[in-house]
Structure 1
Amino acid sequence: MPSLRRNLSSMSALATFEAAARLSSFTQAAGELGVTQAAVSRQIKQLESDLNTVLFRRAHRRVALTPAGAALAGTVTAAFDSMALMIETLRAPEDRDVVTVGATLAFSHFWILPRLAQLRARHPQVKLRLISDDGPTDLRRDRLDVAIRFGRAPFADGRSLASHADEVFPVCSPKLLEATGIPAAEAEIMKLPLIASDTVNPSWLTWRSWAQAVGLGPGPGIASDRSPLRFNHYTETIQAAVNGEGVALGWSTLLSTHLDEGRLVRLGRDSLRLEDRYHVIVPKTGEPRPPVAIFLDWIGAQFAETPQPN
Structure 2
Amino acid sequence: MVARRKLPPLTALTAFEAAARLASFTKAASELGVTQAAVSRQVHLLEETLGFPMFIRLHRRIELTEKGKTLVSAAQEAFDLIAASVSEITKEDHVGELTIAASVAFSQFWLLPRMPDFSREHPDINLRIVTQDSMPNIESSDLDIAIRFGNGMWSDGQAELLFDDEIFPVCSQDFMRTAGKIEAPADLVAHPLIANVTSDQTWTGWSEWLAAFSVELPKKTFGLRCSFYTEAISAALNGQGIALGWRRLVEDLLLQGRLVQLTDATVKTRNAYFVVIPKRRRQSEAARQFLAWLGKISDPSLG
TM-score normalised by the chain length of structure 2 = 0.75
Change (3 A) 1:100 1:183: same
The residue that corresponds to 1:72 in the other structure is 71
Please state whether the residue corresponding to 1:191 is helix, strand or coil: coil
Q: For residue 149 of structure 1, report the CA deviation from its aligned partner.
A: 0.3
Q: What 5-or-longer segments of structure 2 have no aligned partner? A: 1-6, 24-30, 32-38, 57-63
The residue that corresponds to 2:175 in the other structure is 176
1:199–1:205 CA contact under 8 A, matched in 2: no
Q: For residue 103 of structure 1, report the CA deviation from its aligned partner.
A: 0.4
Q: Which of 255-264 and 143-152 deviates more?
A: 255-264
Change (3 A) 1:6 1:187: closer
Q: What CA distance in whole angstroms lies between the structure 2 residues aligned with 1:86 and 1:121?
A: 31
Q: What CA distance in whole angstroms lies between the structure 2 residues aligned with 1:272 and 1:283?
A: 32
The residue that corresponds to 2:252 in the other structure is 257
Change (3 A) 1:92 1:287: closer
Q: What CA distance in whole angstroms lies between the structure 1 residues aligned with 2:185 and 2:271?
A: 28
The residue that corresponds to 2:104 in the other structure is 105
Change (3 A) 1:182 1:67: same
The residue that corresponds to 2:19 in the other structure is 13
2:184–2:265 CA contact under 8 A, matched in 1: no
The residue that corresponds to 1:38 in the other structure is none
The residue that corresponds to 2:28 in the other structure is none
Change (3 A) 1:156 1:9: closer
**Residues 254-305 of structure 1: CA deviation (Å, up to 9, x unaligned):** 111112222212223432211211011111124422222111111122222x
Give matches, 1:136-215, under 5 Å: 136-182=135-181, 188-215=187-214
Q: Please say which structure displays the higher CA radius of gyration.
A: 2
Q: What 5-or-longer segments of structure 1 have no aligned partner? A: 18-34, 36-42, 56-64
2:98–2:125 CA contact under 8 A, matched in 1: yes
Give matches, 1:226-305, under 5 Å: 226-304=221-299
The residue that corresponds to 2:61 in the other structure is none
Q: What CA distance in whole angstroms lies between the structure 1 residues aligned with 2:13 and 2:238?
A: 63
Q: For residue 232 of structure 1, report the CA deviation from its aligned partner.
A: 1.5
TM-score normalised by the chain length of structure 1 = 0.74
Change (3 A) 1:7 1:157: closer
Identity %: 32
Please state whether the residue corresponding to 1:154 is helix, strand or coil: coil
Q: For residue 104 of structure 1, report the CA deviation from its aligned partner.
A: 0.6
RMSD value over aligned CA atoms?
Answer: 3.3
What residue identity is the alignment partner of 2:9? S
Aligned length: 269
Please state whether the residue corresponding to 1:230 is helix, strand or coil: strand
Change (3 A) 1:187 1:257: farther
Q: For residue 6 of structure 1, report the CA deviation from its aligned partner.
A: 5.2
